[in-house]
Chain A
Amino acid sequence: MSTIADIQNEIVAEFEILGEDRESTIFYIMELGETLEPYPESFRKEEYTIQGCQSKVWLVAEEQGGKVIYKADSNTDITKGLISLLIRVLNHRSPKEILNADLDFIPRIGMGNILGSQRSNGLVAMINQMKRYALAFQNKQNA
């Protein structure tokens, strides 16, 4: 199985093909959002939301055989695309791998610049929440 670093390199290569054009980059991110697995409706509740300024995100995680599985959704297509990238990198990893992950694909593809500060803050909030789930599972494994 490819490592977190491998997948990040893949993503960076894909974005390099898109080049500098911001519109096509955003269109691509929106398309990625369409590949997101359906979100379980029973978890579409306030306690699973991460409140950004304009976009809303729902995120849950479960543990299966020592690996973390995330499911997430958003009310905006661009944010869905971002979630799908994070899930692609972090799904089916151990809590330890997730906690140690350096998500350098985000600066490498210039995401902050593409997204602007509002969405970038939202992205940070999403990553933090994903790591919080990982930490909770790790604590449970160690208990």
Chain B
Amino acid sequence: MFIQVNSIRRLFPILHQEVNGNPLIYFDNAATTQKPQAVLDTLTYYYEKDNSNIHRGAHTLADRATRQFEETRESIRSFIGARESAEIIFTRGTTESINLVAKTYGAKYLQKGDEILISTLEHHSNIVPWQMLCDQSGAILKIIPISDTGELVWEEFERLLNPKTKLVSIVHASNALGTINPVKKIIEAAHAVGAKVLLDGAQSTSHLDVDVQALDCDFLVFSAHKLYGPTGLGVLYGKRELLEAMPPFLGGGEMIREVTFEKTTYNTIPFKFEAGTPSIAEVIAFKPALDFITSTGKANIHRHENDLLQYAVELLHDVKGVIPVGTAAEKIAVFSFNIQSMHPFDVGQLLDAKGIAVRTGHHCTQPLMQRLGLEGTVRASFAVYNTRAEVEVFAQAVAKIASLKNK
């Protein structure tokens, strides 16, 4: 064991409570992770001592807030291995980051007949912005199919790639099934036909090493709240030359160099894309979350979570009526399943009665569920603070529920 899970658990106050008369077992980490004390303390401290608007006031508090705000940008740069911190744009989340790219890069560069390639695994937030762009531009959305195990069909991907492909926007790790896509290979193949690649790192960044220079992705998007950080904050990484060439997204304060009624000139990156007052406290409190991940070690986190996943698979393997969904060879710690003759919503409610928090339904991936012929699944997703003992309680509860309809 490389993870001292008990000392990690002590850092997360929310975990220490009872829900419906049972100790809380929080297995909904793919939806959002819990926050360590250091994040909570930083939020409070900021409002108690440093609160002020950034990049403008000529006073001490403004200076402190600005400095800490920019320190987080630098932490993120280092976290994802970007060349420079100007390539890190703050947004409200993964969803806004993708919309930003669609509305700026997409609107400028995609034309009628151009193709955008996504996959069957995508979250709605990596589908709908492209559909909207296609409606406006006449570009065409193409879908990489998957196998029954939930893996991309590589030959189909290669077949779909062609010189008309301008953008490949693909999830790094699937939120619904856990599948890790071979993104390095995808990026190389896409670049070979001249396409740019946006990586949806909402699920991968908390579990896997994601180095934008090693991968050579053009854009990477993710949300702080899935990395033990605050809600309402996301990141868009983009290569400098792309970000500079893109038109601004929202207009307003902060994103301008000079405004006259005749003509406005725009600020340099990253500020060009950060109109208005951002989520300052959340940005500042994201740094201790990143520090927590870095000091724990991504490799350790992945090993621990993967151990929990394998344990859950093993414990539920022979249980009558339990049907795992998504059995890719490479997965993050997502255990999606159904119980024969039961609706996932009922299963989720019965687990909740035992204090076990899971997600049920289509997980914002309706096209994926349609492909699998399912209405939805029950999804248990693990994080660094989860334990083998929790997996045991979960497996027992699932087995009991399964026995109701599967004698």
Contacts and interface: CB of A to CB of B under 8 A. Distances in A.
Interface stretch (B168-176, B181-189, B267-275, B339-347): B339-347
A76 B343 contact: yes
Given A22-B21, A54-B360, A55-B345, A75 B375 contact: yes
B340 to A, nearest CB: 13
Contact of B343 (A22, A53, A75): A75
Interface in B389-407: 404
B356 to A, nearest CB: 11
Given A54-B360, A54-B361, A54-B376, A77 B354 contact: no
Contacts of A75: 343, 375
B43 to A, nearest CB: 26
A53 to B, nearest CB: 8
Interface in B294-353: 342-346, 349-350, 352-353
A32 to B, nearest CB: 13
Given A54-B360, A54-B376, A116 B346 contact: no
A69 interface: no
B343 A26 contact: no
Contacts of A54: 343-345, 360-361, 376
A78 interface: yes
Contacts of A119: 349
A78 B346 contact: yes
A70 B346 CA distance: 24
Interface residues of A, number: 18
A77 B342 contact: yes
A23 interface: yes
Given A26-B349, A54-B361, A77 B343 contact: yes
Contacts of A60: none
A40 to B, nearest CB: 21
A30 interface: yes
Given A54-B360, A54-B376, A75-B375, A26 B353 contact: yes
Nearest to A33: B346
Nearest to A24: B353
Contacts of B375: 75
Contact of B350 (A21, A26, A115): A26
A119 B20 CA distance: 17
A30 B353 contact: no
A54 B375 CA distance: 9
Contact of B349 (A21, A53, A116): A116
A22 B346 contact: no
Chain B interface residue bracket vs A = 10 to 19
A30 B401 CA distance: 12
Interface in A51-93: 53-55, 75-78
A118 to B, nearest CB: 8
Given A54-B361, A54-B376, A23 B346 contact: no
Interface in A1-51: 20-23, 25-27, 30
A78 B345 CA distance: 9
A30 B350 CA distance: 11
Nearest to B343: A76
A116 B357 CA distance: 13
Contacts of A116: 349, 352
Contacts of B343: 54-55, 75-77
A26 B345 CA distance: 12
A77 B345 CA distance: 9
A115 to B, nearest CB: 8
B353 A76 contact: no
Which of B21, B346, B404 has the most chain A CB atoms closer than 10 A to its own CB? B346
B338 to A, nearest CB: 13
Contacts of B376: 54
B345 A23 contact: no
A23 B353 contact: yes
Nearest to B354: A23
A134 B346 CA distance: 30
A20 B353 CA distance: 11
B361 A23 contact: no
A18 to B, nearest CB: 12
5 contacts: A26-B350, A55-B345, A77-B346, A78-B346, A115-B349
Interface of B: 20-21, 342-346, 349-350, 352-354, 360-361, 375-376, 404
Given A27-B404, A77-B346, 15 more contacts: A22-B21, A22-B353, A23-B350, A23-B354, A25-B353, A26-B350, A54-B345, A55-B343, A75-B375, A76-B343, A76-B346, A78-B345, A78-B346, A116-B349, A116-B352
Nearest first, the 5 A-B pairs at minimum CB distance are A76-B343, A22-B353, A54-B345, A23-B353, A78-B346
